[in-house]
Amino acid sequence: MFKSFREMKERLKLIDIMIILVDARIPYSSMNPEILKLVGEKPTLLLFNKMDLTDRKSLNQWIKYYENLGFYTLEISSETGFNINRIYTRTKEILSEKIQKMEAKGAKFGSIRAMIVGIPNVGKSTLINKLANKKVAVVGNKPGVTKSQQWIKIKDDFELLDTPGVLWPKFDDPEVGLNLAVTGAIKDETLPLHEVCNYLISYLVKHYKERLVEKYSIENIDNLSLEEIYDAIGKKRGALEKGGFVDYDRVMHILLNDVRSKALGALSFDNEKLNI
> What is the per-residue pLDDT across 21-80, written as a single tens digit (0 to 9) for each?
999 999 999 998 888 888 888 999 999 999 999 999 999 999 999 999 999 999 999 999
Say whether 253 sits in a helix, a strand or coil.
helix
**Domain 2-162: which topology?**
Rossmann fold (3.40.50)
Cα separation values, 91 from 66, 130, 244, Å: 17, 16, 58
CA atoms within 13 A on the CB side of 43: 17
Q: Which residues pair with 117 in a beta bridge?
A: 20
From CA 260, how far away is CA 171, in angstroms rounded?
Answer: 22
CATH architecture for residues 192-273: Orthogonal Bundle (1.10)
Where along the chain do its domains lie? Answer: 2-162, 192-273
94-128 residue pLDDT tens: 999 998 998 888 888 889 999 999 998 899 989 99
